Chain A
């Protein structure tokens, strides 16, 4: 009986194996088509991120406009909230602010795997979804939030690079 049970427990898997991510080497040389909300990703303006909340006025980002954020060394950043994953001393981080005028679903896209928080009224907001960007898009990470009209603070922490592209986009129809 025990052998039967063991063989049952080890029976064949029915689920197909996962599909691996596309590696840069396998990506086309021409830019891939992006969904409407991510289309601005391909052209970005530079901006220095704020290293503390008092400097946030110098780091505004607009919805639907990609920005190459220059970050500070992690040890020199005073976050509004302690990030869940602050990163090591050799990592980078910073903050920016953005304003939402229409309630809806918003997607924060990043060019690397840094930790991000969207903060309102001193509290970090719960994301509703996360995932990778489209293969070969250069978007490494996307996190979705339901946002009401108002001002928000974007924290980026534990970045492995001193510059990271960021895009806050309204998701059409959501």
Chain B
């Protein structure tokens, strides 16, 4: 079994991007290769002209709950965490070509963190034998 961690990153809100970045950096800290497939709202969040803007919180944050999220959630530097993960380990970021088409996004308009675009088979083959998460 491979120790590769593959993340299907579908969500584009600050909190979920932060969760994904934390998992990615935790894995590279243990010398585990990481693959990330960007779909839908994550893809939209990775657009070069949007990546540093506020992406809001998941719907869960609007529901009644016992604790208020700490104000600093918006300040959590998920982007910086992804950059660091890429710097210190093997992180491959693939933009899902299907999502690119559905959202009308050109791969060249995405942040340089994105390595390339590809189809589902490309991602699944890279993920084979390891663990896959959906965020």
Q: Do chains A and B interact in one complex?
A: no
Instruction: List the interface of chain B (C-beta within 8 A of A).
Output: none
- Taking Cβ atoms with an 8 Å cutoff, the residues of A that contact B are none
